[in-house]
Structure 1
Amino acid sequence: MNRPPDPFVSPCWPVAVGAPVWACDGWAEMVYPTKTPRKDWLAWYTRTLNTVEGNSTFYAVPGEATFRGWAEQAAEGFEFCFKFPRRISHDSMLQHCDDEVREFLSRLRVIAEAERLGPTFLQLGPSFAPDRLPVLARFLRRLPRELPWAVELRHHDWFDSADNEARVNDVLRDLAIDKVTFDSRPLFQSPPDDAIEEKSQGRKPKTPVRQTVTASRPMVRIVGRNRVEMADSFLDQWVPIVVRWLGMGLRPIIFTHTPDDRLAPEFAARLLAKLAKAMPGVDFTLPRPPQSPEQLSLLD
């Protein structure tokens, strides 16, 4: 079995860095050894990167047994950052969805009990405008305070540098809920190079970029390019911000997206290399899976 070596721990970087998925066919020799069965991909992922976007829960919430399986496979120190189901955030617009919320919370508690739960983020669609702030505030105040939360806003009127932005930031600060920054500038810096990038540019929003901190775990989702080096200048802008946040005692979470998911770990590696250069003496080593049959035999 191509199981991860002992000790089975996630990288203990001062910042959480992850990809938008934990299972990808193209990650052999980057995240997991060649010919590793799919059922073991999560275990290998959790010792390569220390967090992940749980985007699958946006589309459907699996049963409790599935969540228990995820918790059991995850390395010590790893954090799942699940996304709220769309039937709560988009279809119901945070209203008349008590049953769905209860079901989702029961699944999150399975991960929380295993000490593998990071902030769960509520991504609101572009039609969720500032006039719905009372609905958002009421929804957030009903969430259990013992679990960590984050909110991503997409309607442009939330970013007015005035009353709308100040009021939602005040609500989030009052509840100690983190704000998510979605940075798609690297993706839109030039026309697409391929069909995958063209599709990504057609789907991703151009949300204004902020450095707002409302709690202790500022979350940044960066969408790069398939030529990952094209995002370097944007990473160069974020690295000093992340370093400053760390100096303030914050624990940032950075997700590295690429139009082709196969390249997300490479994008993460570039971010980690830049952080290592900016913070000499801090270990930002990206673990690599063993490659040779001899190395794998030592793990059986």
Structure 2
Amino acid sequence: MWTHKPWQGRFLPHPLPPDERLRAYASHCNAVEGNTTFYATPARSAVASWARQTDPDFRFVVKLPKTITHERRLAGADEEVRAFLDAIEPLGPRAHALWLQLPGSFAPDDVPVLAGFLRRLPTIHRYAVEVRHRAFFEDARSATVLEDVLARAGAEWIPFDTVAFFQRPPTSDAERDAWTKKPRMPRRSRALTDRPIVRYLGRDATASTVEGWRHWVEMATGWLREGRSPTVFIHTPDNADALALARRFHDEVRAGVPDLAPLPEPVPAAPPTLF
């Protein structure tokens, strides 16, 4: 996300060499979704560059490659897993969680495969799982079985909240595109670990996005008061204002938890002028 074109020159300085772009992003937010790793395991040298550009407490939630989760469906992928874990090793403590985003066809009957996969993973990492089959949200028994498997592995269940997005028909090209691609799932709010992770999708209209995240402001505030350390990712269909929205969300949570540290002071997107 730190190379998102609409942010360049607006939120982030432009032009910037590739090995400085993440550093600029990290001056706005203290966490990032590592979504590009879904499409290919990154070069270890690239990951080392990510580590150099961020502080040790910066959070990467890094998605496992689709060859593991979607093509192999967590079976017979030991070689791919080893290659991925070796590639991300330079992140060190920045690897906040390794993220298994499972396909919508991954159903309750597949949970034993997930259980076996999680048991084989090294315990030096934390893991988080995102499921998209509706049975996990609508059938209490299926949800309980999945929660038990995740709890035994110390893994978190990542909710992807699209409730606000689907409340009214799309009004822009970006919203129409997302309308056909994003999952329609009931909202789920229960944290399984001390590191809950939330993905929230709002609308291109800021007012609708802010109204839709009220639930998560309350949840994040409560988790922090309980001693948990949540990570919340704010999305919109075009993500044009996502950086500013993420900072606004953080400010709203901080209003209820004053001890929460502020986000960094952003690097100016353009040099100061005399007039």
Structure 2 length as normaliser, TM-score? 0.93
Pairing 1:1-300 to 2, within 5 Å after superposition: 21-28=1-8, 31-112=11-92, 115-280=93-258, 282-285=260-263, 287-290=265-268, 293=271
Say which SS state the counterpart of residue 240 (structure 2) adopts.
Answer: helix
Percent of counterpart pairs with the same letter? 35
**Residue 30 of structure 1: CA displacement?**
5.2
The 1-side partners of 2:263 and 2:33 are apart by 21
RMSD: 1.8
Say which SS state the counterpart of residue 119 (structure 1) adopts.
Answer: strand
Question: What is the aligned residue count?
Answer: 273
8 Å CA contact 1:272, 1:286 repeated in 2 = no
Which AA in structure 1 matches 2:21? W
The 1-side partners of 2:205 and 2:266 are apart by 21
Give unpaired runs (5+ residues) of structure 1.
1-20, 296-300
8 Å CA contact 2:28, 2:263 repeated in 1 = no
Say which SS state the counterpart of residue 188 (structure 1) adopts.
Answer: helix
Shift in CA distance, 103/188, structure 1 to aligned 2, threshold 3 Å:
same
Which AA in structure 1 matches 2:235? H
8 Å CA contact 1:129, 1:157 repeated in 2 = yes
Which AA in structure 2 matches 1:53? E
Say which SS state the counterpart of residue 47 (structure 1) adopts.
Answer: coil
Shift in CA distance, 72/282, structure 1 to aligned 2, threshold 3 Å:
closer
8 Å CA contact 2:11, 2:269 repeated in 1 = no
What does residue 11 of structure 1 align with? none
What does residue 16 of structure 1 align with? none
8 Å CA contact 1:228, 1:266 repeated in 2 = no
Say which SS state the counterpart of residue 52 (structure 1) adopts.
Answer: strand
The 2-side partners of 1:51 and 1:288 are apart by 14
Structure 1 length as normaliser, TM-score? 0.85
C-alpha distance after superposition, 1:124-172 (max 9, x if no partner) = 1110000011101000111111111100111011123421111110111
The structure whose RCO (Cα within 8 Å, separation 6+) is larger is 1
